Amino acid sequence: MGGYEESYDLSENGSGMKVLEVALPVPLNKTFYYLPADNVSPENTIGKRVKAQFGKRTAAGYVLSAADYDGDEFKLKKITDVLDPEPLIGEESLMLAKYISENYVCSLGEALSAIIPASMKAPKRQSTKNKERSSNAASENQIRVLTHYQQSAVNTINKTIEKNEPKTFLIHGVTASGKTEVYLNCIEKALSLNKSAVFLIPEISLTSQFVEIVTARFGAQNVGVWHSGISGIEKYKLFLKAKKGEIKIMLGARSAVFAPFENLGVIIIDEEHEHTYKQEQKPSYDAREIAGERALYHKAALILGSATPSLESFKNALEKKSELIELPERIDGKSLPEFKILSLKNKFAGRSLFLPETIEAVSKTLSKNEQAIVFLNRRGYSPSIMCRKCGSVYQCPNCSISMVYHRNPDAVKCHYCGHSKKLPLTCSVCGGKEIAVFGTGTQRAENELKGMFPEAKIFRLDGDTASFAGNYAKAYEGIKSGEYDILLGTQMIAKGFDFPKVTLVCIIDADTSLYLPDFKSAERTFQLITQVSGRCGRGEICGNVIIQTSHPEHYAIMHAKKNDYMSFYKEESGLRKKLTYPPYCDLAKIAVRNKVETKAAEDSEKLFSYLNEIIKSLDLPLKMLGPATAYIVKMHNTYRKHIIIKGSRQDIVKLSGFMSAYKQFSGTQISVEIMPSDLI
C-alpha cells in the first residue's frame, strides 16, 4: 500500500483504522491512500467523488475501496470533502475506466474523470417535489410506413435486442435513406423490453433537431440531453436519472456514451465516420470503441450509421466483425442529386468566387422559389494577408499560421489560439503600405452573394455566427420555414439538415481538405462532398450539385460525383494497405512540445532513439516515423514535434509503458494519442 505526503500519523490512532484508496486524475499509474473525512465512515465513502490535497493543490478523486490499516508507521492526509450524497462508481464504470487506462495510455483516475466528470455538482438542496412518473409509452404519431430496406434492417437488429445478444451493425445508407427512422424503431423495441438507449450525434449543433425528433416520438420525460453546454448541476441530475432508470434515452455528443444506464438495449452512433467521436485531449478515448465495450457488457446492439462509413468500420463489416446493412435507396423513391464538376484551373485570381455556371444555377433556383446551400469550408473573409512589396505573410505571433482577415468589425484573427488585432496598415517587415488580402472565406462569399442576388435572404452559418446563442436553431427553423433562400456555411451545414425545398448545393472549393498532409485527407474530402450534397433533392424536386475544384480528376471527387462509396473504398484502402496505414495497422502519435524550439527538437530525437532501443531489445514488430515537425510548427507559443508509431495496439501500448522512465528537458511536455483522428 503506497502512501502520499504526510500530515496525519496513523500509528497514533492505534490498530483497526481504515484508509481510503483514491484514484486521482493525474498522469501517475497508481492509486493513493487517504484518511476518511471527519464524521463520514470509510464504507460510506466508497464509490463517491471526494476532494483531497495533492501536493500544493486540491484535486477531485474517486474512492475505490476502504482498506484496513496494517500498522506500518506512515503519515497520510485526510479527505477534505465528500462531493456526492450517494455512490456514482459502479461495476461497469470501473470496468470502462480500466479499459480506457489500458488502451489509451492514461491513469485510472484520468479515465474515471471522463466517465464521471469532476464538473458535475450535486445540488445543495434536493427537490421536495413529487417526481413525475416516467412512462415508456410513445406519444401519438402518424403511422410510418417503412421501406423494404428499412423494415429488413429493423427486423434484423430487433432480433438481436430481443435475444440479448451483443452485436455490432453498420448501416450504410445513402443520404435520405431513412436511417433515423430505423434508429427510432430500434429504440422503441428496446424500451418495450424495459431497456434503455444511448443515441450519439457528432455535434452539439445538431442537438435541437434530434431532441425534437426523439421527444416527439418517446415523450420528453423519457429523454435526457447530455453535452458540454449544460451546467454541472444539470449533468449531475441527468447522471442520477439515468442511473435510477428515471429516463430511458440519453441523447448527446461523444461523452453521452458513458450514460450510466443499468440495462442498455441499444447504442446508436449516427454519422459514425465523424472525427468528433474521438477525444483528442487525455484521456483520448474513441466513443465508438467505448460503445463496443458497453454493448458487450450489456449484451446490447450497437448501431453505427453513415452514408460514408469510415474505412475502419467498413473493413470490419466486410470481414464479418460486424453485420453490414445496406439502405441503397432514398425513401419514397426519390432520386439522388445530379452532379456537375467545374474546373477552377483556368480561373483568374481576383475575379468572382463563383464561376458563371454556378451563378446561373443559383439564379435559376431562386427564380423557381427553391432554396440553395452554398458550402465553403473556410470561415472569415480571407485566409491570408500579404505585403505586395516584400511578399511577407502576416502570421500569428503565437502560432506558425497565417492570420485570417475578418470583416464587421475589421480584424485579423488566429483560428487556433484566438489572438486578434486590427488589420495592419503597414508591413512589419519592410514598412510597405501595399497590404493585400488573398483567398476566400465565408464572409467574402456572403458579400458576393448579396451583391449578385440582392433580393435573396441569406443566412451564414459558420464558427463565427454559430457562437451566438440560438443561431443554429435560427438557421434550421429559417430554412425549414422558407424564411431564407440561401444557407451559406462551413462543414457544420454538411449533415443533419433535411429541407425539402433545397434543390441546389454549390461546393465553392472542394479542395480545402484534399491536400492536407494527412493520410485521411482524401477520405475526408469524399465524405464532406457526399454529405453536403445529400442535403438537396430530399423533397419532390430532384437536386443538383455543382462542385468547383482545381482537381476535377481526383478519385475522391470523381467517386463522390457518382455516389460510389464502394469504388472509393477499394481505391483508398488499396493505397492505405500499400503504405501501411489504418485500417491495416494501428497508430499512435507522440507529441513532444516545448516553448524552446531547440529543446523540442532535441527531446524528440532523444525520445525516438530511446524508444527505438526498446523496440529492438524487446523485438517488437513496430515501425516508427520521425521525429517530424508538426504541420503547424508552433501553436500557443509552443513548438511541436511528432513521432508516429505503426503496429498493433497491444505492442504500441506496451512500448508506451516505458515512456514514464524517459527524462525530458524542463518544460518539455510529452503526450501519446492512440489512434489519432489525424497526424497533423
Band (pLDDT 50/70/90 cuts) for residue 12 is very low
Q: Is the pLDDT of residue 129 over 90?
A: no
Q: Is the pLDDT of residue 131 over 50?
A: no
pLDDT value for 476: 85
Mapped onto helix, strand or coil, the DSSP state of residue 550 is coil
pLDDT tens-digit readout, 525-556: 999 999 999 999 998 899 999 999 999 999 99
Q: CATH for 8-115, among 3.40.50.720, 3.40.1440.60, 3.30.413.10, 3.90.1170.20?
A: 3.40.1440.60
pLDDT value for 125: 67
What is the rounded CA–CA span in Å between residue 244 and residue 258? 14
Domain 586-674 sits in CATH 3.30.70.600: yes
pLDDT value for 483: 95
pLDDT tens-digit readout, 271-304: 999 999 999 999 999 999 999 999 999 999 999 9
Q: Is the pLDDT of residue 142 over 80?
A: no
DSSP class per residue in 55-81: TTEEEEEEEEEEEE------EEPBP-E
Is 334-382+439-575 in the same CATH topology as 148-332?
Answer: yes
How does the average pLDDT of the chain come out, rounded? Answer: 91
Q: CATH for 148-332, among 3.40.50.620, 3.40.50.300, 3.30.420.340, 3.30.300.30?
A: 3.40.50.300
As a whole number, mean pLDDT of residues 395-423 equals 91
Polymer length of the chain: 680
Pick from 6-10, 125-129, 659-663: least confident: 6-10
Band (pLDDT 50/70/90 cuts) for residue 13 is very low
What is the rounded CA–CA span in Å between residue 484 and residue 532? 18
Band (pLDDT 50/70/90 cuts) for residue 29 is confident
pLDDT value for 9: 39
Q: Is the pLDDT of residue 8 over 70?
A: no
**Strand 18-23 with 57-68, pairing:** antiparallel
Band (pLDDT 50/70/90 cuts) for residue 270 is very high
Q: Which residue has the cell 433535411?
A: 498
pLDDT value for 239: 96
Domain locations along the chain: 8-115, 148-332, 334-382+439-575, 586-674
Report whether 440 contacts 509 (CB < 8 A).
yes
Report whether 63 contacts 80 (CB < 8 A).
no
Enter the DSSP assignment of 393.
Answer: B
Pick from 12-16, 604-608, 614-618: least confident: 12-16
Q: CATH for 334-382+439-575, among 2.60.120.380, 3.40.50.300, 3.40.50.720, 3.30.70.20?
A: 3.40.50.300
What is the CB neighbour count within 10 angstroms for residue 626? 17
Pick from 11-15, 318-322, 360-364: least confident: 11-15
pLDDT value for 439: 85
The rounded percent of the chain whose pLDDT value lies above 70 is: 94
Q: Which of 503, 581, 500, 606 is nearest to 546 (CA)?
A: 503
As a whole number, mean pLDDT of residues 518-522 equals 96
